[in-house]
A = this chain, B = another copy of it.
Amino acid sequence: MTPTIKDIAARAGISYATVSRALNEKYGVSRETREKVKALAEEMGYRPNAIAQGLVNRTTMTVGLIIPDITNPFYPRLALGIEDRLLKAGYNVFLCNTSWNPDRERDYLNNLVQKQVDGIIISSIAHHADDIESIIPSDMPLVYVSSYPEDTERSYVLIDNIKGADMAVSHLLFRKRRRIAFIGSQQEYHSLEDRLSGYRKALKRAGIEVSEDMVVLDKFQEQSGYKIIRELLEKGTIPDGVFAENDIIAMGVVQGVQDSGYRVPEDVAVIGFDDIPIASHPDIQLSTIHQPKYRIGSYAAEILLNQLIQDPSERRTERMTLQPELIVRRSS
């Protein structure tokens, strides 16, 4: 249907190998035929078959991006940073949304190696490096972004979650809160754990004992914050501050607090994490820890690109930990 180099060769009266070299600017073809070939290619609407090229070149100019939740505004911006950077370098990206499903993450990884992607960027929900790295060839470039399994040797780009959480909780402490809850989702996500340990760290430093019924994790994301805080309040466990795993959950918490007849921030101060766009809306004004989402994405892409051009033997792992930023708004 669409013309191949053989079609061009036939019309030009030369062999298709010459056509290939002409189009790829290789040596050994005269200016004359090169121009003739190019004109013909243009005229016939020739477009190289990337699949065939991929087979012989052993590179597909394609990378896989695995994220847990495209519905959380954090990830689209991250993905945008990645896509923009990779596109500039000529790569396309397979976007894979796992919806927090570890099986789906595994399946997608398998899929991506079968599809011969050149590299993978992943915001993983797996706990162990092996869950991921045993699936992919050991020489396949991989960079973790925003979350990673702690026993990995690979590159990653992420915010300092411990420090960010520490800052958030310290801020609540500064606001004279003493009964500070941590509310999150039950997903096995390494950044969750770091945020949790940052939470513990800050409380410990302040000499406050962490009461375990103040740490509540729930199965789902979207409605988690709302549900959890309402249950807490009804049970009579009344925190005066809440640090939520992320802004989506934090917004649920704020709603829940208000619907239970309490005031934010007077009765319960709330702070989230991520600084998604809506958090700064005048009618929302959610305090949070800022993450430079787009930048994190483009850094991750940059690191992957470095690995892509390097010899596997001399690949170094590059790790970036970006500094979080406290954003104080009305909710605290």
Contact = CB atoms under 8 A, between A and B. Distances in A.
B92 A47 contact: no
B83 A79 contact: no
Contact of A80 (B77, B79, B97): B97
A71 B77 contact: yes
A96 B62 CA distance: 12
Nearest to A96: B92
Contacts of A84: 99
Contact of A284 (B52, B60, B73, B281): B281
Given A1-B137, A80-B70, A95-B95, A113 B51 contact: no
A93 B62 CA distance: 12
Contacts of A96: 92
Which of A48, A62, A76, A110 has the most C-beta atoms of chain B within 10 angstroms of its own C-beta?
Answer: A76
Contacts of A110: 47
B55 A51 contact: yes
What's the interface size class on A, roughly? Answer: 35 or more
Interface in A95-112: 95-97, 99, 104, 110-111
Which of A49, A84, A258, A284 has the most C-beta atoms of chain B within 10 angstroms of its own C-beta?
Answer: A49
Copies in the complex: 2
A92 B80 contact: no
A50 interface: yes
Interface string A28-64: 0000000000000000000111111011000010100
Interface of A: 1-2, 47-52, 54-55, 60, 62, 70-71, 73, 75-77, 79-80, 83-84, 87, 92-97, 99, 104, 110-111, 113-116, 137, 139, 251, 255, 258, 278, 281-284
Given A55-B55, A76-B76, A93 B94 contact: yes
Contacts of A62: 94, 115
B282 A255 contact: yes
Given A2-B137, A282-B255, A50 B94 contact: no
29 contacts: A1-B137, A1-B139, A2-B137, A47-B113, A51-B60, A51-B115, A51-B116, A52-B55, A55-B55, A62-B94, A62-B115, A70-B76, A71-B73, A71-B77, A71-B80, A73-B73, A79-B97, A80-B97, A80-B99, A92-B94, A92-B96, A93-B94, A94-B95, A95-B95, A258-B282, A278-B278, A281-B284, A283-B284, A284-B284
